[in-house]
Structure 1
């Protein structure tokens, strides 16, 4: 594609930053602890929910996650998987991370069209490094449904 700008930059630690971010999400989910789940979220994080709501700021988002985590019996087991990492600056990374709902055997559940069933999702996260620490600046979750796009390469 001639004339089209490439934004990717070499970043020695982008993959590590995203892997650590995903591990923090996993730990928070596994422990049903919103403090752990959100510990990497910036004060001015902007969050897009899977249903189109926009939540502006940690102080608004955190209570929502506290509510979700307070009912572990309603939450299916899930696993986070890093799908794609793109460093667009030394201190800015865009990552796609899947949250896969698991069955009783620990295997991902096939996507379903029924909105009342637990769903997996793919999220796009923007991580920004400040003073040596990576923070979530923005996230957007999208439910995984049958007929979704093919995986990025």
Structure 2
């Protein structure tokens, strides 16, 4: 195995970014637990780009929030899931990329998602996310 001797390490310390990731996970967890799509989506930017676990792309808060309302109403969502941070990196000032896993309980759906948060004038917003199902079986 070779390594790229010229590769630049991008991660930098940013406690504000770390706090934003913690708050995002809390919003996802609370929204999922209560079936509150508005809480679940509370970090999402107006022009968020969202990749679904089925490979679709949804652009914009309004259509994504409508989808989440259909999926979560009436709450709570069953079976329960746990959201947990896998890893995060702060590659530039005001940017954090976090890999968050949703672990479905009782055989429920599990996924891993890459979230991109950006700090703007009004605080942190989710600019983009890509969800991937967690499975032991890959297509042939």
TM-score (norm 2): 0.89
For 2:16, the equivalent position in structure 1 comes to: 13
CA-atom RMSD, angstroms?
Answer: 1.7
Deviating beyond 4 angstroms after TM superposition, the runs of 4 or more aligned structure 1 residues are none
Task: Look up the SS of the partner of 1:13 in the other structure.
Answer: helix
Call closer, same or farther: CA 1:73–1:87 in 2, change over 3 Å: closer
Residues 13-41 of structure 1 deviation map (CA, whole Å, 9 limit, x = unaligned): 22211011100110101110101111110
The alpha carbon displacement at 1:71 in A equals: 4.4
For 1:137, the equivalent position in structure 2 comes to: 127
Alpha-carbon separation, structure 1, partners of 2:76 and 2:46: 29
Contact 1:43–1:57 (CA under 8 A) maintained in structure 2? yes
Alpha-carbon separation, structure 2, partners of 1:145 and 1:76: 17
Compare 6-15 and 51-60 and name the one that shifted more: 6-15
The alpha carbon displacement at 1:133 in A equals: 1.1
Alpha-carbon separation, structure 1, partners of 2:96 and 2:59: 20
How many equivalent residue pairs? Answer: 135
Alpha-carbon separation, structure 2, partners of 1:31 and 1:20: 16
Unpaired segments of 5 or more residues in structure 2? none
Aligned residue runs from structure 1 range 87-106, under 5 A: 87-103=90-106
For 1:63, the equivalent position in structure 2 comes to: 66
The alpha carbon displacement at 1:5 in A equals: 2.1
For 2:53, the equivalent position in structure 1 comes to: 50
For 1:124, the equivalent position in structure 2 comes to: 114
Unpaired segments of 5 or more residues in structure 1? 104-108, 110-117, 149-153
Contact 1:95–1:125 (CA under 8 A) maintained in structure 2? yes
